Amino acid sequence: MAVKNTQELVLNMGPQHPSMHGVFRMVVHLEGETVTKIEPKLGYLHRGMEKLAESRTYSQFIPYTDRLDYLASPHNNWAYVQTVEKLMSVEIPERAEYLRVIFGELARIASHQVMIASTALDIAGWTAWSYAFRDRERILDMFEMTAGSRLTVNIMRIGGLSAEPPAEFWPALKAFLDDTPEMLEEYYGVFLGNEITQGRLKNIGILSKELAENLSITGPVLRASGVNYDVRKAEPYSIYDRFDFKVPVRTGCDSYDRTLIRMDEIVESIKIIKQAVRDIPEGPIMAKVPKVIKPPVGEVYHRVENPKGELGFYIVSDGTTKPSRVRIRPGTFINIQMLPIVAVGWKIQDVIAIFATLDAVLGEVDK
Of 1-5, 24-28, 48-52, 256-260, the range with the highest mean pLDDT is 256-260
Give the confidence band of 59 by pLDDT, cuts at 50, 70, 90.
very high
**For range 40-58, the mean pLDDT:** 91
Angle in degrees, 0-180, between the axes of helices 94-122 and 126-147, rounded to the nearest 10? 160
Cα separation, 362 vs 367, in Å, equals: 8
Query: What is the tens place of the pLDDT at every residue in 65-88?
Result: 999 999 999 999 999 999 999 999
Least confident of 43-57, 205-219, 223-237: 43-57
User: For the chain, which domains are there?
Assistant: 46-365 (1.10.645.10)
pTM for the predicted model, two decimal places: 0.95
Cα separation, 67 vs 94, in Å, equals: 28
Q: Are 236 and 304 in contact (CB under 8 A)?
A: no
Instruction: Read off φ and ψ for residue 278, nearest 5 degrees.
Output: -65, -40
Query: What is the tens place of the pLDDT at every residue in 95-136?
Result: 999 999 999 999 999 999 999 999 999 998 888 899 999 999
What is the percent of the chain with per-residue pLDDT over 90, rounded to a whole number?
A: 87
Query: What is the tens place of the pLDDT at every residue in 170-180?
Result: 999 999 999 99
Cα separation, 30 vs 343, in Å, equals: 12
Angle in degrees, 0-180, between the axes of helices 169-187 and 126-147, rounded to the nearest 10? 170
Is the pLDDT reported for residue 9 higher than 60?
yes
310: β partners: 305
Cα separation, 115 vs 255, in Å, equals: 12
Is the pLDDT reported for residue 26 higher than 80?
yes
Give the DSSP letter string of 51-86: HHHTTS-TTTTHHHHTTSSTTSHHHHHHHHHHHHHH
Is the pLDDT reported for residue 6 higher than 90?
no
Q: Are 313 and 156 in contact (CB under 8 A)?
A: no
The pLDDT of residue 143 is 97
The pLDDT of residue 346 is 96
Computed over every residue of the chain, the mean pLDDT equals 94
Is the pLDDT reported for residue 1 higher than 70?
no
Query: Alpha helices, DSSP H only, in 21-151?
Result: 49-53, 62-65, 73-88, 94-122, 126-147
Is the pLDDT reported for residue 223 higher than 80?
yes
**For range 38-57, the mean pLDDT:** 91
Kindly list the distances between the CA atom of residue 156 and the CA atoms of 28, 79, 144, 350, in Å, as whole numbers in the listed order.
41, 10, 14, 39
Alpha carbons within 13 angstroms on the beta-carbon side of residue 50 total 16
Q: Are 157 and 90 in contact (CB under 8 A)?
A: no
The pLDDT of residue 5 is 66
Q: Are 230 and 218 in contact (CB under 8 A)?
A: no
Is the pLDDT reported for residue 42 higher than 60?
yes
Query: What is the tens place of the pLDDT at every residue in 251-264?
Result: 999 999 999 999 99
Contacts 24+ apart (CB under 8 A), 80-83: 80/156, 80/313, 81/156, 81/157, 81/158, 81/159, 82/237, 82/238, 82/302, 82/304, 83/300, 83/301, 83/302, 83/313, 83/314, 83/315
Cα separation, 367 vs 50, in Å, equals: 7
The pLDDT of residue 22 is 80
Instruction: Read off φ and ψ for residue 36, nearest 5 degrees.
Output: -110, -20
Rounding to the nearest 10 degrees, give the CA dihedral for residues 112, 115, 119, 124: 100
Give the confidence band of 3 by pLDDT, cuts at 50, 70, 90.
low
